[in-house]
Amino acid sequence: MEATHFSLAGALSALEEGLISAVELTEAHLKAIEAVNPQINAFITVTAEAALAAARAADDRRAQGEAGPLNGIPLAIKDLFCTQGVRTTAGSRILGDFVPPYESTVTKNLLRDGAVFLGKANLDEFAMGSSNETSAFGGVQNPWRRRDNQGVALVPGGSSGGSAAAVAARLALGATATDTGGSIRQPAAFCGIVGIKPTYGRCSRWGIVAFASSLDQAGPIARTVEDSAILLRSMAGHDPKDSTSAEREVPDFAAACHRSVKGLRIGVPAEYRLDAMPAEIQALWDQGIAWLKAEGARIVPISLPHTKYALPTYYIVAPAEASSNLARYDGVRFGMRVPGEDLKDLYERTRAAGFGAEVKRRIMIGTYVLSAGYYDAYYVKAQQVRALIRRDFETAFADCDAILTPSTPSAAFASGDKQDDPIAMYLNDVFTVTANLSGLPAMSIPAGLDAQGLPLGLQVIGRGFDEETVFTVGAAIERAAGFSALPQVMA
Amino acid sequence: MSLDAATIRRVANLARLRVEDDEVPRLQAELNGILGWIEQLQAVDTTGVEAMSGGGDAILPLRPDVVTDGGQAEAVLANAPDRAGVFFAVPKVVE
Amino acid sequence: MTYVLDGATGPWEVVIGLEVHAQVTSESKLFSGAATAFGAEPNSQVSFVDAGFPGMLPVINAECVAQAVRTGAGLKAEINLWSRFDRKNYFYADLPQGYQISQFEFPIVGKGVLEIELADGTRKDIGITRLHLEQDAGKSLHDQHATKSYIDLNRSGVALMEIVSEPDMRSPEEAGAYLTKLRQILRYLGTCDGNMEQGSLRADVNVSVRKSGEEFRTRCEVKNVNSIRYVMQAVEAEAKRQIEVWEAGEKVTQETRLFDTTRGMTRSMRSKEDAHDYRYFPDPDLPPLVLDEGWVEELRAALPELPDARRARYVQDFGLSPYDAHVLVLEKETAAFYEEVAQGRDPKQAANWVMGDFFAALNRTGKAITESPVSAKNLGALLDLIADSTLSGKLAKEVFEAMVETGETPGAIVEARGLRQVTDTGAIEAAVDAMLAANADKVAQYHAGKATLFGFFVGQTMKSMQGRGNPALVNDVLKRKLGA
Ligand SMILES: [Mg+2]
Ligand SMILES: [Zn+2]
């Protein structure tokens, strides 16, 4: 078996049994990156030497009986996580050659547990996008191809498109990612892999370049539900450096993958049945419902009446926070600078040249909705609707233990397809964004293929801090679906 | 609410984004498109609904008053596009 | 007496409100663990949070919260158990995050009151609108380079309390008295060192003028005035400028101005010309600040005695004059010194010594009370030596001067210099006898009726005893010997 085709859990056993060394595993992935990355552009930075050194150290630790839970596992790190001594770009020109003098809490946790970082994964600029086409370092290609037209490049989804493409193409055993409106689940769905956005506050945001602080959450992308459970356990945990980090014990998520869904009540929200939804998506959803029923779960119809307002709400709240979070990119303390006649001119030229079109668009929207005279009509209104969306979930969770929906309204689309229509692009996140607005954990699991042979995902949404039930239901879907298709581009 | 060109310029100024004259019409069209779409929120009855702020239910954790940071001027300055010794440097500001 | 400024069109009333920024006394910053000490090397007290680096997050300092609560309690203000931090968005070179974390809609402290006292003894309540916590910005140095400004972020993120008054003041004197009193209270509370030269206390002065009986007219804000004297000067200069504007038939426009201390004038701030729109919104990095009521009550109960209460106690319990009490409580350190001297002694005598010889010695040596060579303990010991007749009043002054010079205890000085008062009647009688014998002619004149010579005999006796004779005993013996 190719070393790059292990599951993460499988690799851990192979390492433990001495079937493979961390160095061999890392070398195999570096070789895969060398071969495949030029085509799919999943990595912005590859840190081969550091990865090999880390792998050697991991092998030494294992030899001395000090192997951590991720000892020797090669991962891709979304280039939104600050990594000490390694250039961090957020997919933007404006960060220039910024080299963080600190390590984000999540990546520090992974290093503590012995992980090996292969490099920094491509993403939409400042995590703003659903197609990975807004990266200043070029788009990422989805490793999957349409059955009837292998020549058309498809997007991997976004913003964690590099993470998803790398994991799908077998360039890494897993990856870190972040999700503000669907940025873990949508690319996971498009690339036929698993991604979970945990509850807001489960993973520390410290050291992650901020997009929208009240929505941003880090989570893992991996090829199996159990792999993502293993990764999340290492990534999560209370961090006193993040005032919004939850003071909660981190459960053994992997154990939850082996529980039965028998007796669980699965909510199916009426409002997620969109008029224009492709029949394939509806069929997949029905199939998911049938699988869970067959495993002994009870299906409960539920209502989430404010669902249709979630995206417009998101496109006020997220840009508002982003407009403020991105004010620090001003060409003074780090990153690129374009000289100007005076300080104001320097700011304006630097930011105009440093930010791409989508980022500028969102900064403008965010600035506008917070400005005098519009704050109440837009920002306060959106935060009120957000409260209603959250209340919908609270009400629904009185009657069910988890909610099943499609992950996305379509399979991966072609590069350039929606670039000129921001709203069409935003609609990608129609099923995912509600979990961000209400802070709930949600996972996308590959569940089938569309007529073109492209992967489709199902989403499981859980109660706050009840990722365990999400893992239980996700693993049940995974077992039932038996998803075994492989992408066309792969190491 | 539809944005005119002057508003585009005012917002760009607040956001410190240089906008060339020929960019204004395109930005105006895009932003008006998005804002028009967002407008549907006005249909939601939010009477008496308390606005959310932040993403969770937490209350602010307090840290002890201890010096745990600083003493790293070089690291703080290392990424600066322009510096003068131990200072960051910017074009002269007139107050 | 109402303060008015006379313009060409008649008298004008001045309306003043103050926004005071008081640096919170704390070891570390409001949202980061970097130090707050004054005068450190540039950028040496900066965390990546203070420098607005990517991914950095604020975590609040409990002591800064406690200090704000203490100050609110000291200003008899409402403490809000639920408050929130908001972002005030604007771009400036020394504002690394591109926003200041402040409290806009829900401050930690609400309405309070501060009583001021004017030179003529009148008292007046000045309303406190609110007190909120916020971050300080860094410092820009504009005079180091021909074409560049230099940025030092040591102050960036230091905790400030912004204390906003109602527009209740009507004269430069009232503004001065308000700031003086506020500073006094902050120092008593230990929540701000009140050091205006170092910028620990700065005032934004809101000034408008109006004709008697009118509504408020447009106000201007004179930013960052850093001494009480300048505040008073700025009020007057800005009021006069506005009167000229109005009387020229023009309108005062609301703006931010600076006080030019060398010219004694205010001028418009060019950098603030840009129309501001701060786009306040709740900081999503910081959940609401929720205070435990019991904790607030604990802080309140532990507040030190404030100057007004202390002054009243000095008058009532110690029998001091209101003026003396006022002088002694002006500075927390003086009051503490005085109380240590007065402890278990005659409080009036203690006050006389502290305000008399002791203050004079401080003045003469140019020393602060905290660095005085004469400790409160030693001054108290000196009073004890007077009380037990070891020293006469005159000798005590001599001993005190020696204490100022050497810093030694009065006991040691008395022993070393043999300054102990002579109370031995035999020795005094011998000295009197010798003196009378040497002045037989004067004794005859005295007996002939020149009674005023008695003082001369006292003086001569004391002189022969190097001033050490107990004055009362010398008097008694003389009277007896002269058969008076
Ligand atoms: Mg102010
Ligand atoms: Zn302020």
Q: Over the stretch C341-377, which tens digit does the pLDDT of each residue have? A: 999 999 999 999 999 999 999 999 999 999 999 999 9
For residue C112, the model assigns a pLDDT of 97
pLDDT score of C147: 95
pLDDT at res. C424: 83
CA distances from C478 to C391, C450, C471 (A): 20, 15, 11
Q: Is the predicted pLDDT of residue C484 greater than 60, yes or no?
A: no
Q: Ligand 2 centre from C162 Cα, in Å?
A: 5
Nearest to C46 among B54, B60, B73 (CB): B73
**Nearest neighbour of B93 by CB, restricted to C84, C142, C289:** C142
Is A391 contained in some domain? no
What integer is the mean pLDDT of B13-18? 98
Q: Which domain holds residue A92?
A: 3-263+464-481
Three-state SS string over chain B comes to CCCCHHHHHHHHHHCCCCCCHHHHHHHHHHHHHHHHHHHHHHHCCCCCCCCCCCCCCCCCCEECCCCCECCCHHHHHCCCCCEECCEEEEECCCC
- pLDDT by residue (tens digit) across A305-355? 999 999 999 999 999 999 999 999 999 999 999 999 999 999 999 999 999
Whether residue C89 and residue A95 make contact (CB cut-off 8 A), yes or no, is no
User: Region C221-249: what's the mean pLDDT?
Assistant: 96
Closest ligand by atom to C21 CA: 2
Return the pLDDT at C423: 81
Give the pLDDT score at C466: 81
| pLDDT at residue A435 in the model | 98
What is the tally of structural domains in chain A?
A: 1
Beta bridge partners of A86: A83
**From the candidates B8, B31, B37, B41, which should be mutated to test the interface with A, based on the most A CB atoms within 10 A?**
B41
> How far apart are the CA of A58 and the nearest CA of chain B, in angstroms?
29
Q: How much distance in Å is there from the Cα of C31 to the middle of ligand 2?
A: 16
Mean pLDDT of B84-95: 92
Tens digits of pLDDT across chain A (491 residues): 689 999 999 999 999 999 999 999 999 999 999 999 999 999 999 999 999 999 999 999 999 999 999 999 999 999 999 999 999 999 999 999 999 999 999 999 999 999 999 999 999 999 999 999 999 999 999 999 999 999 999 999 999 999 999 999 999 999 999 999 999 999 999 999 999 999 999 999 999 999 999 999 999 999 999 999 999 999 999 999 999 999 999 999 999 999 999 999 999 999 999 888 899 999 999 999 999 999 999 999 999 999 999 999 999 999 999 999 999 999 999 999 999 999 999 999 999 999 999 999 999 999 999 999 999 999 999 999 999 999 999 999 999 999 999 999 999 999 988 878 888 888 889 999 999 999 999 999 999 999 999 999 999 999 999 999 999 999 999 999 999 999 999 98
Is A309 strand, coil or helix? helix
Q: Do C48 and A320 touch (CB under 8 A)?
A: no
Q: What per-residue confidence (pLDDT) applies to C139? A: 96
The rounded Å distance from CA C289 to ligand 2 centre is 18
Q: Does A313 touch chain B (CB under 8 A)?
A: yes
CATH code, A93: 3.90.1300.10
Any idea which residues of A carry the catalytic annotation? 78, 159, 183
Whole-number mean pLDDT of chain C? 93
All residues of chain A having their beta carbon less than 8 Å from the beta carbon of residue C48 are 101-102
In-domain check, residue A246: yes
Chain B partners (3+ C-beta pairs within 8 A)? A, C
Helices (H), A125-221: 161-168, 185-190
> Does the distance separating the beta carbons of C142 and B76 come in below 8 Å?
no
**Residue in C55, C58, C281 nearest the CB of A370:** C281
- Distance between CA atoms of C286 and C108, rounded to whole angstroms? 14
**Is C425-482 in CATH node 1.10.10.410?**
yes
Confidence (pLDDT) at C271: 54
Residue A136 falls within a domain, yes or no?
Answer: yes
In a domain, A183, yes or no: yes
Residue C1 pLDDT exceeds 70? no
Residue C380: band (very low, low, confident or very high) from pLDDT cuts 50, 70, 90: very high
CB contact under 8 A, C54 and A100: yes
Contacts (Cβ under 8 Å, ≥6 apart) of C70: C189, C190, C191, C299, C303
Q: C202 Cβ partners below 8 Å, 6+ apart?
A: C20, C21, C196, C224, C225, C226
pLDDT score of B39: 94
Cβ pair A214:B11 closer than 8 A:
no
State the DSSP code for A445. Answer: E
End-to-end CA distance of chain A: 12
pLDDT score recorded for residue C440: 87
Total Cβ atoms within 10 A of residue B6: 9
- Chain B residues touching residue C280 (CB < 8 angstroms): none
Q: How far is the CA of C160 from the centre of ligand 1 (A)?
A: 12
Model pLDDT for residues C239-255, shown as the tens digit of each residue: 999 999 999 999 999 99
CA-based nearest residue to B54, from A406, A175, A386: A386
Note whether residue A27 is domain-resident: yes
Q: What is the pLDDT of residues C29-46, one digit of tens each?
A: 999 999 999 999 999 999
Taking CA atoms, C340 is separated from B34, C304, C345, in Å, by: 72, 16, 10
**Model-level pTM?**
0.92
Any domain includes A433: no
Cα distance between residue C133 and residue C129, in whole Å: 14
C-alpha A484, offset from chain centre: 21
CA A303 to chain centre: 26
B18 → chain A, closest CA residue: A348
Residue position matching structure tokens 């926004």: C19
Query: Please, what is the Cα angle at A322 between A316 and A324, to 5 degrees?
Result: 110
Residue A259 in any domain: the answer is: yes
Q: Say yes or no for a CB contact (<8 Å) between B80 and A341.
A: no
**Boundaries of every domain in chain C:** 4-298, 314-417, 425-482
Specify the DSSP element, H or E, that contains A460: strand A455-462
Predicted confidence at residue C420, as pLDDT, reads 78
Mean pLDDT of C16-23: 98
pLDDT at A277: 86
3-state helix/strand/coil string of chain C: CCCCEEECCEEEEEEEEEEEEEECCCCECCCCCEECCCCCCCCCCCCCCCCCCCCCCCCEEHHHHHHHHHHHHHCCCCECCEECCEEEECCCCCCCCCEEEECCCCCCECCEEEEEECCCCCEEEEEEEEEEEEECCCEEECCCCCCEEEEECCCCCCEEEEEEECCCECCHHHHHHHHHHHHHHHHHHCCCCCCCCCCCEEEEEEEEEECCCCCCCCCEEEEEECCHHHHHHHHHHHHHHHHHHHHCCCCCCCCEEEEECCCCEEEECHHHCCCCCCCCEECCCCCCEECCHHHHHHHHHCCCCCHHHHHHHHHHHHCCCHHHHHHHHCCHHHHHHHHHHHCCCCHHHHHHHHHHHHHHHHHHHCCCHHHCCCCHHHHHHHHHHHHCCCCCHHHHHHHHHHHHHHCCCHHHHHHHHCCCCECCHHHHHHHHHHHHHHCHHHHHHHHCCCCCHHHHHHHHHHHHCCCCECHHHHHHHHHHHCCC
Give the mean pLDDT of chain A.
97
pLDDT at C425: 84
Which chain B residues are Cβ-neighbours of C290 within 8 angstroms?
Answer: 59-60
| Burial of B2 from C-beta contacts in 10 A (0-12 / 13-18 / 19+) | exposed
Reported confidence tier of residue C394, pLDDT bands at 50, 70, 90: confident
pLDDT of residue C416: 83
Nearest CA of chain B to the CA of C2: how many Å?
36
Position A390 in a domain: no
CB neighbour burial string for C298-335, b if at least 16 within 10 angstroms, e if fewer: ebeeeeeebbbebbeebeeebebeeebbebbbebbebb
Give CA–CA dist A157/A133, Å, rounded.
9
With a cut of 0.90, is the ipTM above it?
yes
Whether residue A98 contacts residue A89, with contact meaning beta carbons closer than 8 Å, is answered with yes
Query: What's the rounded Cα separation, in Å, for the pair A427 and A276?
Result: 12
Provide the pLDDT for residue C470.
Answer: 84
